[in-house]
Amino acid sequence: MKLPLWRRRQDDELTEELRSHLAMATQDRIDRGEPPDQAAAAALREFGNPLLVRETVRDTWGWISIAQWGSDLAYAVRGLRRSPGFVVAAVLTLALGIGANTAMFSIVRAVVLRPLPFADADRLVALNELDLRASGDRRGTLSWPNFLDWQQRSRTLASMAAYHSANFTVAAGGSAAHVPGVVASTTLFSTLGVTAATGRTFAPDDESAEANVAVVSDEFRLTHLGGDAAPIGRAITVNGRPFTIIGVLPSGVVFPIESPAPQLWVTAAEDARVEDAGDTPMTEQRGAHFLQAVARLRHDVSLAGTRAELDAIAAAIATQHPDDNAHRGAAATPLLEALVGDVQRPLWLLMTAVACVLLIACANVANLLTARGLARQAELALRVALGASRDRVVRLLVAEAVVLAVAGAACGVGVAVWSIRALVPLAPGDVRGLDAVTLDGLVLLFTALLAGGCALIVGVIPAVRVTRGDPSRNLTSSRGPGGQPSQWRWLNGLVVAETALGVMLLAAAALTLDGLDRLSGRDPGFDVSGVLTMSVSLPDSRYPFARQVAFYDQVVPALSAIPGVEASALVGPLPLGGSRFRISLELPGDSGDATARRQSPGFAFVSPDYFRTMRIPLRQGRDFTVADRQNSPRVAIVNESFARRYFAGVDPIGQRIRPGLSIDEPAAPWREVVGVVGDTKQVTLLDEPAPAFFVPHSQGMITTPHLVIRSTQGADAVPAAVRRIVAAADPELALYDVRSLQERLGASMASERFATLLFTAFAVLALLLSAVGLHGVLAYSVSQRAHEFGVRVALGAEARDVARVVLAGAIGLVGAGLLIGVAAAVVAGRLMAASLSFVQAPGVTTYAIVTAVFLTIAVVCGVVPARRAARTDPLRVLRAN
Amino acid sequence: MPIRRANSIDLLQGTLDMLVLEQLRWAPSHGYGIAQAIRTQSGDILRVDAGSLYPALHRLERQQLVRAQWTVSDRKQRTRVYRLTPLGRRRLAGERSRWEQLSLAIGAILDRGGVKA
């Protein structure tokens, strides 16, 4: 054995010590009168085998096991090199399993496990108002007055900040560009613990009316300020007003964490502006809920403590302002959970699924190693007979597993890199961290642990099994190796287990495929094909409400003149655009209390022709026309759910409703229902039909609208034409968010599609691996049972009978796996349906498909071995023994 | 083929350690000397083979119960001599009292059984 250098001296000393022992013993015997040669022989006899003694002593040194491991590993590599086919199969199997797990874990790591880039991020919470009337997720946005009340009254929150996303038209010297940004209270960055890379973040004074200061992201500095290293004090135009840059955030730090990432931050002064002196600013409208909020818990306060305090504060505000707040509560959620809470459970489900794939891979390799070990039992028995301990033999077998696992992990990292590169472009864009999936230290540590686990599973168990039993029997058995029933039970058990896992994964994939299919099959209520959508950023400094309406009234009809354009219109918020507006509703005969208790219906403002452009069917009454203007009678169109809910049994046309919506009226006006249209989906295809109403844009444009353009033209020609028309109206305007409705529909299902893709990929992997495993065991069993088959054939069995035995064996194994797997899939399916909103609990069809697939696999995998068994030549086999 | 391996040591380990420490209580000695002493003192009943003795000595050395040193014997033989460390001395005292308790206890059981039978 080769020893490490630093141990050689110790070893030499041991040799000398033993030699001196022998010398003294010999000398004693000579002193007692024995002849020298006899004395030496007798002393040696008494001493025993010096080599063995030396080895035993070395064992007590402890470090020796490392050296032995080295030699075991070297020996394993030599042994494996002799069977390249086996090595390729085993390493490839492990690489697929480990690689898939590494890739999946790196996704989980990036999304869930990577802490937010803020100091003490675990003390940060997201704040929401609760709509106590709603069922399901009741979390909603805040209004400025409510936020300010919370801020003033809370003692458990060290600091809190409100913010909302906003679209800015920014000019920094050059032409105007659309920039996604944020309006926030001045406390935003101090709450997050973010300091500027250059300059400063907001101070309380910055909120004063004419401060007009902005903080920008590092990305903004690079793209819009020409990489200016010190842009502090630079003047830019934001929405047509002069602003001064006071700070640049560190690279990679933005908040809120969303897509597209915000690049420019201004203070709440932006919301305090009014068009006319008499108007109420947004910062004073208690009923205008559009704010997100983030807060930092005091270090001595628990989340539960804050929640209790917020409940009390919300209750107090509800008593003070019953009109707006009677049905409103307050909620605090850890910020990370608020960001990734929805995706967390699907991700862990996927992680479980991919772990099952690895278990199958391990079962396969364990199979291969067991079969290999059984085939080598005679050799191993010989080793034991020659003085190797069982430990040593086990260690030898485990060393092979370790070599395979390490090679598998190394290749697995390659598989992971490749699959991450392939997967990330397909991932939904709006999930935090999915754009930054990398193999960092933690992921690699995970991979190393996986490799260790694999080596343990695929090495130790087979090694213990192989070396079990009486070695001498293995050595002398005339029937050759591999005959012990317990070892067959073990191989078969592995096949049954991996079939069960495969069944579960296939059922999971079938569920997601079915769910995705059902989801895509849902009718959004409008025709998405051929519709292009986009926004124009109108700086509100130059475009007060009336001019905005005038602008669109000029541009939208002009769009219809573009060649190939069938119809064009205006809508806000855009369906499938990500947002949903709800506005409270009063009906004739309501007391104020009834309005407060009623859940607010959905809302959108649209221009005439919107329903025709979207091909939303007009069921009753009329569409809006150009005659429905800012100063004409207030009108509304409702959807079918609205009509059913509020006008059951009466003609909705001509009914009056009073949504809490006003543009320039002192109080929200009553509106006459002039039409009924079909229901449409607003945010995703999963939306259930719900009441909604529409008003003309001239009577309710309260957010930046989208243009919707139906054309027979390609998607490229239209935006260019639109850009020309918009530029003709005002050259400083930028067009942004140009996407087809089809694209938006796709994006609205991106998470579902991604989950389905992964589940399906895992199931395919699992199927392949189980098939390979089954085939391997069958082929091995046929080769081991050649003797038995020979005897059967010799006794008159038909080839068909022999083949049937093999096939029946295959079906029996798979059948057992199916039974277990389906039982497990029932539970797993429920779990999935609970975590993935688009998945429904499995039905009989799912199980039928899964069963059919696996029985087919059993037959396909059984055919070749069965044929080989059928062709057994009895003479040759029997003569061989 | 007879194989002397860990099994035979395991049975004796605790006792062997105590016997070795006991030998070193009076004077430092080398492995051969210890083996011979145990053999003669036990009236030729206990024969400690090298395959047990040297692992035991090296184990005790690693536990710092004994310390080893190369010296030259009076017969000009270079030998490795072991001596008891203070820690080894304490351990021996502990082992010794435990052994005495154990043999008393076993003795008591055997005596009682003897009376009954």
pLDDT at A310: 94
Q: Report the range of poorest mean pLDDT among A151-155, A641-645, B39-43.
A: B39-43
Q: CA A409: distance to chain centroid?
A: 23
Band of pLDDT at residue A420, cut at 50, 70 and 90: very high
Instruction: Calculate mean pLDDT across residues A858-871.
Output: 87
Count of alpha carbons within 13 Å of B105, Cβ hemisphere only? Answer: 6
Measure the CA–CA gap between A17 and B78, rounded to whole angstroms: 8
Is a pLDDT exceeding 70 seen at residue A684? yes
Which has more confidence, A778 or A766? A766
Which has more confidence, A390 or A536? A536
Mutate to test the interface with A, among B36, B49, B58, B59 (most CBs of A within 10 A): B58
Measure the CA–CA gap between A275 and B5, rounded to whole angstroms: 97
- Cβ atoms of A611 and A676 within 8 Å: the answer is no
Is a pLDDT exceeding 70 seen at residue B5? no
Band of pLDDT at residue B116, cut at 50, 70 and 90: very low
> Going from the N-terminus, what domains does chain B have, and what CATH number goes with each?
6-116 (1.10.10.10)
Is a pLDDT exceeding 70 seen at residue A477? no
Measure the CA–CA gap between A821 and A359, rounded to whole angstroms: 14
List A residues 368-387 in contact with B (Cβ-Cβ < 8 A): 385, 387
Per-residue pLDDT tens digits for A30-88: 988 889 889 889 888 888 888 888 888 877 776 556 667 778 888 888 888 888 888 99
Count other Cβ atoms within 10 Å, centred on residue A676. 21
The residue type of A201 is: T
Complex ipTM, two decimals?
0.84
Per-residue pLDDT tens digits for B81-107: 999 999 999 989 988 888 888 888 888
Instruction: Calculate mean pLDDT across residues B25-53.
Output: 86
- Cβ atoms of A198 and A248 within 8 Å: the answer is yes
Count other Cβ atoms within 10 Å, centred on residue A30. 15
pLDDT at A189: 95
Q: With 0-12 CB in 10 A as exposed, 13-18 as middle and 19+ as buried, what is A50?
A: middle
Beta bridge partners of A585: A659
Instruction: Calculate mean pLDDT across residues A429-457.
Output: 87
Is a pLDDT exceeding 50 seen at residue A600? yes
- B5 contacts on A by Cβ (under 8 Å): 56, 389
Which has more confidence, A287 or A530? A530
Measure the CA–CA gap between A498 and A478, rounded to whole angstroms: 33
**Residue A512 C-alpha, separation from nearest chain B C-alpha, in angstroms:** 58
Count other Cβ atoms within 10 Å, centred on residue A17. 22
Helix (H, G, I), strand (E, B) or coil at A598: coil
- Cβ atoms of A502 and A354 within 8 Å: the answer is no
pLDDT at A670: 92
Which has more confidence, A422 or A388? A422
Is a pLDDT exceeding 80 seen at residue A174? no
Instruction: Calculate mean pLDDT across residues A764-793.
Output: 86
Measure the CA–CA gap between A616 and A333, rounded to whole angstroms: 39
Chain B: which residues have CB within 8 Å of chain A? Answer: 1, 3-6, 9, 30-33, 35-36, 49-51, 54-55, 58-59, 62, 70, 73, 75, 77-80
Q: In this complex, which of A25, A57, A60 lies closest to B32 when CB atoms are compared?
A: A25
**Residues A61, A63, A66, A71: what is their CA dihedral angle, to the nearest 10 degrees?**
-50
Query: What percent of chain A has pLDDT above 90?
Result: 42
- Determine contact: A57 vs chain B, CB below 8 A: yes
- Cβ atoms of A400 and A453 within 8 Å: the answer is no
- Cβ atoms of A284 and A145 within 8 Å: the answer is yes
Handedness of CA B21, B23, B26, B30 (dihedral sign): negative
Helix (H, G, I), strand (E, B) or coil at A311: helix
Is a pLDDT exceeding 70 seen at residue B63? yes
Tell how many helices (H) and how many strands (E) occur in chain A: 29, 23
User: CA distances (Å), A633 to each of A12, A571, A604, A624, A692, in order?
Assistant: 108, 20, 18, 12, 20
CB contact under 8 A, B79 and A17: yes
Measure the CA–CA gap between A266 and A217, rounded to whole angstroms: 12
Which H, E and C letters describe A682-711, residue by residue? Answer: CCCCCCCCCCEEEEEHHHCCCCCCEEEEEE
pLDDT at A470: 55
Is a pLDDT exceeding 60 seen at residue B10? no
Is a pLDDT exceeding 80 seen at residue A880? no
Task: Strands of A176-239 (E only): list them.
Answer: 177-184, 198-199, 213-216, 235-238
CB contact under 8 A, B31 and A17: yes
- Cβ atoms of B49 and A57 within 8 Å: the answer is no
CB contact under 8 A, B5 and A21: no
pLDDT at A62: 63
- Cβ atoms of A711 and A154 within 8 Å: the answer is no
Q: With 0-12 CB in 10 A as exposed, 13-18 as middle and 19+ as buried, what is A2?
A: exposed
Band of pLDDT at residue A178, cut at 50, 70 and 90: confident
Q: CA A841: distance to chain centroid?
A: 21
Measure the CA–CA gap between A459 and A165, rounded to whole angstroms: 55
Q: DSSP string covering A739-755, please? A: EEHHHHHHHHTHHHHHH
User: CA distances (Å), A16 to each of A54, A59, B64, in order?
Assistant: 11, 18, 21
**Residue B98 C-alpha, separation from nearest chain A C-alpha, in angstroms:** 25
Query: What percent of chain A has pLDDT above 70?
Result: 94
- Determine contact: A59 vs chain B, CB below 8 A: yes
pLDDT at B4: 39
Count other Cβ atoms within 10 Å, centred on residue B76. 6
Looking at chain B, which residue has its C-alpha nearest residue A49?
A: B51
Instruction: Calculate mean pLDDT across residues A260-280.
Output: 85
Note the pTM of the prediction, 2 decimals.
0.77
Best-predicted range by mean pLDDT among A32-36, A103-107, A781-785? A103-107
Measure the CA–CA gap between A776 and A772, rounded to whole angstroms: 6
Per-residue pLDDT tens digits for A7-35: 677 888 888 888 888 888 898 889 888 89
Q: For helices A750-784 and A84-108, what crossing angle results, to 10°? A: 160
pLDDT at A480: 44
Measure the CA–CA gap between A660 and A586, rounded to whole angstroms: 8
Which has more confidence, A392 or A316? A316
Beta bridge partners of A131: A328
- A49 contacts on B by Cβ (under 8 Å): 4, 51
Helix (H, G, I), strand (E, B) or coil at A293: strand
The helix (H) or strand (E) run that includes residue A314 is helix A303-320
CB contact under 8 A, A48 and B62: no
CB contact under 8 A, B54 and A18: yes
Measure the CA–CA gap between A690 and A643, rounded to whole angstroms: 10
- B79 contacts on A by Cβ (under 8 Å): 17, 20, 24
Per-residue pLDDT tens digits for A301-358: 999 999 999 999 999 999 998 877 888 899 999 999 888 888 888 899 999 999 999 9
Q: Which of A265, A275, A293, A8 lies closest to A141, judged by CA?
A: A293
- A50 contacts on B by Cβ (under 8 Å): 50
Measure the CA–CA gap between A563 and A709, rounded to whole angstroms: 12
Residues A127-158, buried b or exposed e (16+ Cβ, 10 A)?
bbbbbeeeeeebbbbbbbbbbbbbbeebebbb
Q: With 0-12 CB in 10 A as exposed, 13-18 as middle and 19+ as buried, what is A714?
A: exposed
Q: In this complex, which of B51, B77, B80 lies closest to A48 when CB atoms are compared?
A: B51
Q: In this complex, which of B4, B36, B78 lies closest to A20 when CB atoms are compared?
A: B78
pLDDT at A2: 53
